[in-house]
Amino acid sequence: MACYFRRAIASQLSKILGPAEENFLPLILAIPVSKKHHSPDFRLSVSSLVENGWIQPDRSVQAQTELLAKQRVLQQVLKDGPYFGVKSQLFSLCKMKKVVVEFSSPNIAKKFHAGHLRSTIIGNFIANLKGALGHSVTRINYLGDWGLQFGLLGIGFQEFGSEEKLKSNPLQHLFDVYVQVNKTAEKDENIKKSAQEFFRRLETGDVQALSLWQHFRKISIEEYERIYKRLGIHFEEYSGESLYQKSSQTVLDQLEKQGLLKKTKEGVGVVDLSVARDMTSCATLVRSNGTSLYLTRDLAAAIDRMDRFNFDEMIYVTDKGQQNHFTQMFQILKAMGHTWAEHLYHVPFGIVQGMKTRKGDVVFLEDVLDEARSRMLQNMSISKTTKNLDDPEETAEDVGTSAIIIQDFKGPLLSDYKFEWDRILQSQGDTGVFLQYTHARLCSLQEMNNSSSECSFNPECLQDPAAIAILQHLLRYDEVLFQSSKNLQPRHLVNFLLMLCRLAAVAHKTLPVKNSPQELAQARLQLFKGTCTVLANGMRLLGIKPVIKM
């Protein structure tokens, strides 16, 4: 095994210093394990590199080797541009996969609820990261478009609906109808029975019921796409529970054939998941009246996706309240003999608390986005540093959205967090506004100094502590991406970018470009250019559109 690592180290030295790998292999020695303290696994005598003429002896060897690594990283940033980090050798052994990511998943015929925000932006980050690393990604929006609630909505629209209001403000009208029919159903048992009958007609393919349902589904997707466009999010496929109404019966037949589907005394269809097979832990798949449940349709959807996409892994992004649902689902698939279920993953997240607008408690995501834009526009109007902008509203929207995303991504996804407008929209501190401000400032610096695509510079000019600090930090970028790719947590990347912005702020004050000697100015300009590039790359992975001016 040691020869493998020795070869890997030699390969890196060869790329940096030039001579063939074989020249370095004898110089890389394994260090004996010490019981008293931790030590590196291998050592390389730097003096041997000097003796062979591969590095120069005219300065502190330690300082020279550090400088070598730091300057190389800036050259790599400028060379790779948007591909910096994702082309790292850390990912060289990672097999390219076909990945399906299911996220967002709002309920049709309802306005996009703010509760779906986290699934939407977390799923988008995961899909962005997987795609950037070279995997083939399919983004699926699995809509809540089936169930007894559509029986209620169907009856409600017949009673309280208006085609005119449906055209002018479709989802708001459907929401109002749903609220109204629910209130009526609480007092009138006949409404509940009528709703059950309407849904039964849906399940049996009644033309009139299906036509109304399809109309609701179509206008819902159109409205959702408008919201997704504001967030810069797209999907390869809009799916939904309704597509698996019939195939879920096939799943039930298969489970029964395998002896996995049991009936309780009440006539409910369950799968026994208890270790002792004593029915102490069961997953319910069929109601006593024979209708299927959400879990049954999810099983059918997973099997269908494997048939169609032949994926290597599939990731579900939902709130932590569904952890048991996915645990049961994965267990059932394995029990059915689907070995690929080992590659199904659930990414759970916590609850956002206290999300309010000036009007009161937030119900809909669009209200949150509007509020973020409005507040940011107001902050920009009173700020002394705000530039003349072609479209202030668009900039305010981009910055406001980035503030929401960074607030969400700063901590572990599983944690709940409290939403506070004043804190997330601050221009200083650990906020999305700070990231955008830093990016805009770096863009302005390049524009003021006529930065070109020319990347040549003298590394000797970048030995100031502020420059060295940035270069040291940039060395970690690929490690951060690697860590994020393993546990699918955006906080590693967020914390890296926030620190990069802090370092850039210090460098901006202490490393002037203007009025500096030309060689020094060019080196510093390339340092800021490289910093801006990595910042923008990371922001885009998080689902943030970097602004040029603000």
Residues serving a catalytic function are: 110, 113, 116
Both structure tokens of 544? 């943030």
Distance CA 258, CA 251 (A): 11
Q: What is the 3-state secondary structure (H, E, C) of 48-89?
A: HHHHCCCCCCCCCHHHHHHHHHHHHHHHHHHHHHHHCCCCCH
Coil vs helix vs strand at 103: coil
Q: In what order do the strands lie in the sheet with 313-319?
A: 237-240, 136-143, 98-102, 313-319, 344-349
Burial 110-121 (b: 16+ CB within 10 A, else e): bbbebbbbbbbb
Burial 343-365 (b: 16+ CB within 10 A, else e): ebebbbbbebeebebeeeebbbb
Question: What are the E-state strand segments in 188-268?
Answer: 237-240, 261-263
Q: What angle do CA 156, 159, 161 make, to 5 degrees?
A: 75
Both structure tokens of 538? 């990371």
HSE-CB at 433 with a 13 A cutoff on CA atoms is: 20
HSE-CB at 94 with a 13 A cutoff on CA atoms is: 18
Distance CA 336, CA 4 (A): 40
Coil vs helix vs strand at 216: helix
CA 357 from chain centre, in angstroms, equals 25
Question: Which helix (H) or strand (E) segment is 441 a member of?
Answer: helix 432-448
Both structure tokens of 143? 């809509």
DSSP secondary structure code for residue 430 in this structure: S
Residues 6+ apart with CB under 8 A from 438: 501, 504, 505, 535
Distance CA 243, CA 239 (A): 7
Distance CA 520, CA 23 (A): 35
Burial 211-239 (b: 16+ CB within 10 A, else e): ebbeebbebbbebbeebbebbebebeebb
CB burial class (10 A; 0-12, 13-18, 19+) of residue 241? buried
